[in-house]
Amino acid sequence: MHTFAHSQPLSPGEVVPVELALGPSATAFRHGDRIRLVIAGRQLAPRNPLYGSFPALYAPSPPARCTLHWGADRPARLRVPVIGSGDNAPA
């Protein structure tokens, strides 16, 4: 699991498996809502649109290329925990 505590540079063209945890979120999704995962080679905005600029504005970084390799031999997944509420709460 990548902890973001230090950088782990790769060689150009090197294909490696990546596992990382996304930060917690208190987002309520309704039936039929969709989730989109955006993967970028640099910070997309100078500040977090949800939290402003905590702890400070992000330093500009040069763009980088991200190539995702997935298929039958390289399965990919996005695991999202589901916590029920009200009538849908787990027993």
User: In the chain, how many domains are there?
Assistant: 1
DSSP 54-73: SSSPPPP----------BTT
Please report whether residue 39 resides in a domain.
yes
pLDDT value of residue 27: 81
Beta strands in the chain (DSSP E): none
pLDDT tens column, 5-25: 788 888 888 998 888 777 777
| Pairwise CA distance, residues 88 & 91, whole Å | 9
Q: Do the domain assignments include residue 30?
A: no
Is residue 81 domain-resident? no
Domain-embedded: residue 47: yes
CA atoms within 13 A of residue 50's CA, in its CB half-sphere: 5
Q: How far apart are CA 32 and CA 2, in angstroms?
A: 31
Structure token pair of residue 77: 């997944």
Question: Which residues of the chain, if any, have pLDDT below 70?
Answer: 4, 43-59, 85-91
